[in-house]
Structure 1
Amino acid sequence: MDRTKTLLRFSALFALIGAFIGSHMAGSGGYSLQPLHAHILVVGWLSLFAFAVFYRLFDIPRRSKLAAVQVWTAIIGSITLPTGMYWERMINEGPLAVFALIYYIVGGTVLVVSFILFFIMTFVFSERIGEKVN
């Protein structure tokens, strides 16, 4: 798996979705989706893009299981957090409301795990991270 390309493509998808939601809100004059819009852009577009740049700039081993788990938890969390947020706001009663809340919490937790793994990677691969000396 090409981590940079995968993260960059998901980042671009989130940018497109975020732009669409922003355009819809501006056109309709209704801004109820602002929290969703913000999370899609910050968590999906910017965070995944930053991770893509990290993997492009620094020589993290391709076979690193830590890096693979970090990438996939970032992608899964970036999908499940905003969708869970949307469902939790839209579904107010019954068993589906409980499912939406749990899905939202799990999505956020998966995303936090990704950031924790990224933090750990900055120490595990510290000899590979740094400014290039000419």
Structure 2
Amino acid sequence: MNKYSNLLLKVAAVFGLIGAVLGGHMAGSGSYAVRPIHAHILVVGWLTLFAWAVYYRVFQPKNRILACLHVYSAVIGAVGLTGGMALYNFRPGFLPAAVETVFYIAGGAILLLSFVFFCILTFTHGKNED
């Protein structure tokens, strides 16, 4: 499970750096146009993934398949939600609006699924994990 912890920790660190850069940009420019993206990057990407990294460092879930589904859906969902949110807000000309919206919604749905997997993991751990 250390590989899951390490993966989540590294992805959380990247999200933390991006969130800090966005925060610094907002403070320096005086524009808070990216505030929702900044908040989601820090809460979902940095805080949540970091907390889950600690969980996998402390606990050894019995269901390895569920743990794998949780970790990869968490990473994909966090990137998808925040990336989709950025695309949706900035509306780059190279993508149709429908693609931006689908990316945003799919990322959020995958992230929600990762929360469901995590909830199941926490309520189904083995006796030696208490």
Match of 1:35 in 2: 36
Q: TM-score, normalised by structure 1?
A: 0.89
Q: Secondary structure at the match of 1:60?
A: coil
Q: Is the 8 A contact 2:12 2:49 kept in 1?
A: yes
Match of 2:27 in 1: 26
Q: Is the 8 A contact 2:61 2:121 kept in 1?
A: no
- Give the CA RMSD over aligned residues: 1.9
Q: Structure 1 unaligned segments of length 5 or more: list them.
A: none
Q: Per-residue deviation at 1:7?
A: 0.5
Match of 1:96 in 2: 96
Match of 1:9 in 2: 10
- The alignment-based identity, stated in percent, is 43
Distance, in Å, in 1 between the alignment partners of 2:71 and 2:116 is 12
Q: Per-residue deviation at 1:26?
A: 0.5
Match of 1:109 in 2: 109
Match of 2:80 in 1: 80
Distance, in Å, in 1 between the alignment partners of 2:128 and 2:57 is 12
Q: Per-residue deviation at 1:95?
A: 6.6
Q: Per-residue deviation at 1:92?
A: 8.2
Distance, in Å, in 2 between the alignment partners of 1:60 and 1:119 is 12
Distance, in Å, in 2 between the alignment partners of 1:128 and 1:48 is 25
Q: Secondary structure at the match of 2:49?
A: helix
Distance, in Å, in 2 between the alignment partners of 1:26 and 1:66 is 41
Q: Deviations over 1:21-80 (max 9, x none)?
A: 00011111110000000000000000000000100111224x701101100000011101
Q: TM-score, normalised by structure 2?
A: 0.91
- The residue identity in structure 2 corresponding to 1:24 is H
Q: Is the 8 A contact 2:73 2:111 kept in 1?
A: yes
Pairs aligned (count) = 129
Q: Is the 8 A contact 1:4 1:55 kept in 2?
A: yes
Larger Rg: 1
Distance, in Å, in 1 between the alignment partners of 2:8 and 2:95 is 34
Q: Structure 2 unaligned segments of length 5 or more: list them.
A: none
